[in-house]
């Protein structure tokens, strides 16, 4: 068994590290089951692996599980060199030392933290063979992972990355308060325009440019106009089908103006066009030069 080659194809293997706190009042398993404690314990484990495996690559945590009284950490290795470095760190006691240091700091413990560890590959207890590095590598390589990474671990990894990004110094941005928009104006593409009632020229520009999208605009206007709710849009389409798209769009806006009176404002039409992603038509109506 030990003579089987491990270098053929991509090298992968799996090991489970079992952790149990020896410090009174600190139970890693209970902490991990707590929603707030879970992230801190995971961060301790992740930082320990980064220290002992020489960085972020070559391995991934697949699962952290209840192995009462231990907390089990299943790690998949995809690089034999990284796995070897981890085994050397584990054998020298560096993994335990790193765990204790990170736990004491992140858990803000008043006393020195101590931990018991055990490393297994399948049914093999690797602590019994740490003087035979090649044999340990062989056992890890023959213990292939049986699962993909847990979704819970994905979430914890993302939280850790978000925290890392958030801890970076952010440039100071001096924000200047924008003056309030007057009640008779509206904003479009960061510019302020004077609001007014729709004119015959607006209706013509809209009818010429909207094409088949007139129904979508009608439904957007219908969110705040009773005359365009329900079957009104389809009725207009049926009634003016023979006259073509220009007439259908013209009648839509005419119906809107007739129903809303003084409230048939330019801002409402521009907002509806924005909602339908017809910004170029809004620019045309507002006479914004490209």
Q: Domains in the chain, ordered, with CATH? A: 13-161 (3.30.70.680), 185-286 (1.10.533.10)
Angle between helices 232-239 and 245-260 (to 10 degrees): 140
* Contact in structure between 221 and 256 (CB atoms under 8 Å): yes
Q: How many CB atoms lie within 10 A of CB 138?
A: 21
In tens, the pLDDT along 208-228 reads 999 999 999 999 999 899 889
Which stretches of the chain drop beneath a pLDDT of 50? Answer: 1-8, 168-175
* Contact in structure between 74 and 97 (CB atoms under 8 Å): no
In tens, the pLDDT along 226-244 reads 889 888 899 989 999 899 9
Nearest alpha carbon to residue 16 among 100, 140, 132, 134: 140
User: Model pTM greater than 0.85?
Assistant: no
């Amino acid at each position: 068994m030990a003579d089987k080659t491990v270098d053929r194809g991509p090298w992968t293997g799996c090991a489970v590290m079992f952790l149990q706190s020896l410090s009174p009042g600190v139970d890693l398993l209970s902490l991990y089951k707590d929603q707030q404690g879970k992230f801190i314990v995971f961060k301790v484990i992740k930082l320990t692996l980064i220290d002992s495996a020489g960085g972020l690559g070559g391995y991934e945590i697949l699962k952290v599980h209840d192995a009462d009284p231990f907390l089990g950490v299943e790690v998949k290795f995809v690089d034999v060199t990284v796995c070897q470095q981890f085994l050397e760190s584990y054998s020298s006691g560096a993994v335990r030392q790193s765990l204790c240091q990170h736990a004491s700091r992140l858990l803000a413990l008043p006393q020195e933290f101590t931990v018991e560890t055990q490393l297994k590959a399948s049914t093999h207890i690797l602590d019994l063979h740490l003087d035979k590095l090649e044999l340990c590598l062989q056992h890890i390589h023959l213990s292939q992972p049986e699962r993909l990474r847990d979704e819970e671990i994905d979430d914890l990894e993302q939280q850790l990355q978000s925290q890392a990004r958030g801890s970076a110094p952010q440039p100071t941005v001096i924000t200047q308060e924008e003056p309030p928009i007057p009640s008779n104006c509206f904003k479009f593409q960061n510019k302020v325009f004077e609001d007014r009632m729709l004119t015959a020229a607006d209706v013509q520009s809209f009818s010429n440019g909207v094409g088949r999208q007139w129904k979508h605009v009608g439904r957007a206007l219908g969110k705040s106009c009773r005359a365009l709710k329900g079957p009104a849009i389809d009725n207009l389409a049926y009634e003016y089908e023979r006259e073509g798209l220009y007439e259908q769009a013209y009648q839509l806006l005419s119906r809107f103006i007739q129903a809303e009176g003084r409230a048939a404002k330019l801002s409402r039409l521009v907002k509806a066009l924005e909602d339908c992603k017809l910004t170029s038509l809004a620019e045309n109506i507002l006479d914004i030069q490209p």
